[in-house]
């Protein structure tokens, strides 16, 4: 079977090479690109990222990469969002003011509070290993364990209006959506490229999804 070519969307984020290497280890053919035409020609699209919501959204729009990503999702070419690749799917993000996201998932991206549910101080950003409990139905979930441990680095989290889009939850100061999904998208708040064996399991599942097997 032909190795699927995957667009790793380049909008100036700093972890693109590590994401590309992780995809290659899962027998995918990643191409790091900031060209919307290349994104449109690939079998799948991965949007990773570190940094600020506003800067990421503005960079993607300036390069018209937001349109290319939206077209990939509309054309049912499997989209995998990593960290900002999850957050940018939402209507708006609240980092450094309110910024419009892609509007694929109804809801907002908000900052963790200063205290947890018990009133104890909560350290922000959320950095380190934490458990994700998967739920619901999606082709990716068919090849993933019910729960696994991944590496997180973030101060903001997505809050979807529709609970049915949530396919993974994590506890940090309370339960939050650490994975969301739709018919042609799957997005996670954590970093598979930094998550060792658990990350490879997730990227292997993505390969099977792209291949349709």
Catalytic residues: 83, 191, 193
Question: How far, rounded to the nearest angstrom, does the alpha carbon of residue 179 sit from its chain's CA centroid?
Answer: 8
Q: How would you class 111 by CB atoms within 10 Å of its CB: exposed for 0-12, middle for 13-18, buried for 19 or more?
A: middle
The residue among 112, 203, 104, 118 whose CA lies nearest residue 160 is 104
C-alpha atoms less than 13 angstroms from C-alpha of 166 in its C-beta half-sphere = 17
Which regions of the chain does DSSP assign to beta strands (E)? 5-9, 29-33, 44-47, 79-82, 90-93, 99-100, 105-111, 126-134, 147-154, 156-160, 166-171, 175-182, 185-188
Q: Alpha-carbon distance 207 to 93, whole Å?
A: 29
């Amino acid at each position: 079977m032909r190795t699927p070519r995957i667009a790793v969307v380049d909008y100036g984020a700093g972890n693109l090479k590590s994401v590309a290497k992780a995809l290659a280890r899962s027998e995918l053919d990643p191409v790091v690109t900031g060209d919307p035409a290349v994104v449109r020609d690939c079998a799948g699209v991965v949007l990773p990222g570190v940094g600020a919501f506003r800067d990421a959204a503005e960079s993607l729009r300036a390069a018209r990469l937001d349109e290319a990503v939206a077209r990939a999702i509309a054309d049912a070419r499997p989209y995998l969002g990593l960290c900002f690749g999850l957050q940018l799917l939402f209507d708006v993000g609240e980092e450094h003011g309110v910024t419009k996201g892609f509007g694929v998932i109804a809801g907002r991206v908000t900052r963790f509070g200063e205290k947890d549910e018990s009133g104890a101080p909560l350290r922000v950003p959320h950095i380190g290993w934490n458990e994700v409990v998967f739920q619901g139905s999606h082709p990716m979930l068919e090849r993933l364990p019910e729960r696994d441990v991944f590496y997180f680095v973030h101060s903001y989290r997505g809050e979807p209006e529709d609970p049915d889009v949530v396919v993974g939850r994590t506890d940090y100061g309370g339960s939050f959506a650490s994975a969301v999904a739709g018919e042609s998208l799957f997005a996670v708040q954590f970093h598979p490229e930094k998550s060792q064996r658990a990350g490879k399991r997730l990227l292997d599942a993505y390969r099977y999804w792209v291949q349709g097997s």
